Every structure is written in C-alpha cells, then in structure tokens.
A = this chain, B = another copy of it.
Amino acid sequence: MIRYQDIRGVIALCPTPAKQGADRWDSHDTVDVDETERMIRNLLASGIDGIVLLGTLGEMATLTESEWRTFAQVAVETVQAFDPDFPLFIGATTLNTRDTIARIRFLEALQVKGVFLGRPMWCAMDEHSIITFYKTIADTFPNISIMLYDNPEAFKGVIPTAVYAELAKIPQIVACKYVSLTPKFRADMEVTRGHIRILPLESDWLQAWILYPDDVIACWSSSALCGPEPVLFLRDALRRGDLEAARWISRRIEWAYEPFLARQNFQEFSKYNIALEKIRFDEAGFVHAGPARPPYHIVPPQYVAGAREHARRWLQLVAAVRERTTI
C-alpha cells in the first residue's frame, strides 16, 4: 500500500495522450501508447514524487473501458519498471459503486497500489452516501490506497468537513486532491491531519504550508505537465524553508495562470477543463496530449488563446527557474 507518509512532494496529474482523430465519435483505440510511456518516463526522470492518472483532465469520463484498460496497463508497467513502490494513483470513477469495484478489480490484478476516486455524479450524494461509498470501496479492497478527488463542479458539491472527519477514520484513504484554499481548508486540515494527506494545488501550496508545515508537504499539479521545474523548485524551497524563494516562484506561477480560464472562472472552466488542459499541454510541449475525446472536444475560441498564453508564460517560468537554479 501507499501510506500517508509516502505522499510528499509534487504529485503530477496527467492527461491521457490521444492519437489524431480521437475527437471523432467513430474513433477507437485512441490511446497514444508511445506518448504515454514517454510522458511517464519523462516525469519520473524529472524527479516528480507521485503520479495521478485518469481524473477529469485524464478523460476518465470519455475513454471506453477498453481504452481505459490499455492506458492503465501501459502506465502501470512503465512506473513499475522504474520503481514498484512509486506513488501511483489510477482513476476508477464511474457512474456507480459496482462499476467502480469492477474497475479496481482490474487494477488490483495489475498490482496497482493506489486508486484515485471521485464519486458517482448523476445524482448529487449526501454526506451519509459519500461516506458509505468510500467505506464500501475501502472494505472491498483492504490493500489498496485511495486518493480522494474533491471537485465540487464534477461531483456536485464539496466534500463537507464532517465527511472528511469520517473518511479520516478509514485507513485506506491516505490522500486527497484538494480543490482550493478557502476558510474550509483549515477546518478540513484539523479533522484530517495525520490521516489524509490534503494536497493543495501548487499555487496554493505556500499559503497552505505556512499554517501546517508538518502536514502540507505535498501538492498536486497538472501544470507540471507543462514542465515540472517550477513546481519542483517550489518543493525544494519549502523543504529548505526558503520563504523568499517559495514566494518568488509562487507569485510567478500566479502570473502564469493569469490568462488561464481555470483561474478566472472555475465554474466556466469546468465546462472546458479537458480541452483547455490538453491545449496548454500541447502548447508547452512537455507532453503531446492530443485532441480531447467527445463530447468534451469543443471549446470557445476566446478561451483557447488564454490557455496558450498561459503555457507560454509557464515556459518562461521554466527558463527563469533554470537560470536561477544554475546561478
């Protein structure tokens, strides 16, 4: 299993690279296997500390089950070849409990140790239902670690603090991709500390860390797929307690985000999440993410320019970090 203690540093959220034509309704076998391997190898080589696959931007919703298996398998094998204990979490969110269990069975057979789990979202779930859902999965797979996926737009509501308090009692739940800093963050920290590693977004990390330096020792980042250096620089600054450097990079990351819809209007962004993420990845070039799969392949042109500009700013940041690190 992956333990709470094992989750530290930068956890990268990855896309599922797609072949040309993957945005067509009649496409099949759309996973770009070679690019998947390359992406994971490059991430591992970069010194990243964990990998999460098959969330929203990882197109959990739009892969066929067969494609999901293909992608999971190649990813698992690539990671395992590098280090069988490397923290890897694979998405298994579906429309219901039984399908999710079936997906995890498949992963279990691949020796996967961690899953990344949002909740069924056709109907919004109340507190009792959320707790029961995760408890059922944990009871069914006593040896698989769970990273919670807290995305209020996707799953129709936040995970309430009272639910976090209950989930913290489930030993298999070891981490959470957290949404963003609000006053609720501090309440959630208080009820999960020592049990669930709450992962802020990299641009929230410094602000979360300053209050809980012993616990907030990891972040999630999809921007790392535009080039991981800025986030690794932030990690290293926090590890050595260099606040000036942490502040320097945090404010530059914010500047890079400024033209990106994700920062301007999260609710609106959530409609175009997948396509905009893939566009910025392709612009930055660290990974060739390829087209978004239907029906989420459509995005208004005015948002595309912002995603590209954001990626260009990120590349400037990568250069600035290299320069500062070299000196």
A181 in complex: contacting residue of B101, B136, B182, B293, CB < 8 Å:
B182
Within 8 A of B (CB), among A193-211: 203-204, 206-208, 210-211
A56 in complex: contacting residue of B98, B123, B180, B186, CB < 8 Å:
B123
How far does the Cβ of A154 sit from chain B's closest Cβ, in whole Å?
A: 6
A97 and B247 in contact, given A123-B56, A136-B25, A204-B183 (Cβ under 8 angstroms) = no
How far does the Cβ of A245 sit from chain B's closest Cβ, in whole Å?
A: 13
Interface stretch (choices A78-86, A108-116, A266-274): A266-274
Whether A258 is near chain B, meaning CB under 8 Å from some CB there, is yes
Contact at A271–B126, with CB atoms within 8 Å? yes
Contact at A211–B207, with CB atoms within 8 Å? yes
A61 surroundings in chain B (CB, below 8 A): 95-96, 120, 122-123
* 1/0 contact string of A248-267 vs chain B (CB within 8 Å): 00110011001000011010
Contact at B258–A190, with CB atoms within 8 Å? yes
How many chain copies does the complex carry? 4
A247 surroundings in chain B (CB, below 8 A): 210-211, 213
In the docked arrangement, what's the CA distance between A122 and B247, Å? Answer: 35
A98 and B206 in contact, given A120-B61, A263-B187, A270-B123 (Cβ under 8 angstroms) = no
Hey, which bits of chain A sit against chain B, CB under 8 A? Answer: 25-28, 56, 60-64, 94-99, 101-102, 119-126, 128-129, 132-133, 136, 140, 153-154, 156, 161, 180-183, 186-187, 190, 203-204, 206-208, 210-211, 213, 243, 247, 250-251, 254-255, 258, 263-264, 266, 270-274, 293-296, 298, 300
- Nearest first, the 6 closest Cβ-Cβ pairs linking A and B are A61-B122, A97-B294, A62-B96, A207-B207, A61-B95, A133-B295
